[in-house]
Chain A
C-alpha cells in the first residue's frame, strides 16, 4: 500500500479534557507507531456476595 500524507495548516483553538487515564495518551505531535491495549474485567463475573474476606495477599 502506498500511503501519502500532506500535512497542511493545523490550527486548533481550545482542547478541553476532563481526564486522561489508564495508559491513555493525549498527544500534540507526530508519532511513527502507536500501540494501545487494554483489558477490563467487571461484574457480574467478579461480584462476590457474602462475608467480607480479604483478597489473596500481596506476596511480592
Chain B
C-alpha cells in the first residue's frame, strides 16, 4: 500500500536537549527512556555525586501494559497520500522526547520521574499548620 508522505513547509525548534531527537524522515523502531530525580531544597545547597536510581522503586517497578485481547484486522486507505502542515513552532524538546516528521513502525517511550522536596526544620510552637 502507498505510504503517506509528510510535507512541512516550515518548522522552528528553539532547543532539543537531554537525549531528545528531531527526526526528519522515516524510522523503523524507537525506544526512548527517561529517568529523572527532581530535587528541590529550601536552601541553595547541592551535594556532588548524590542520587541513586536503585534506591527508589519508582525507577524499577513494572508499568503494567494491557495488550489487545482481540485480533484486529486493520487496513488503511490513503486516498490523499500527503500529510500537509504549513508551520510548526516548538519552544523546546527535552528528556528523551522526539519530534518526528515522517513515518515509523514501532514506538515505545517511557518516563520515570521522582520529585523530592527537602525543607528546613520548622518551629512547631507557632501553631502553624504543617504542609
Interface residues of A (CB under 8 A from B): 1-44, 46-52, 54-60
Contact = CB atoms under 8 A, between A and B. Distances in A.
A4 to B, nearest CB: 5
The 6 lowest CB-CB distance pairs between A and B, nearest first, are A54-B47, A23-B111, A22-B111, A23-B109, A42-B115, A37-B63
Contacts of A59: 52, 54
A10 B84 CA distance: 6
Contacts of A50: 118-119, 121
Given A13-B87, A30-B76, A35-B107, 17 more contacts: A5-B75, A5-B77, A15-B87, A16-B89, A21-B97, A23-B111, A26-B90, A29-B101, A30-B3, A39-B111, A41-B114, A43-B116, A44-B131, A48-B119, A56-B51, A57-B51, A60-B52
Contacts of B110: 23, 36-38
B113 A3 contact: no
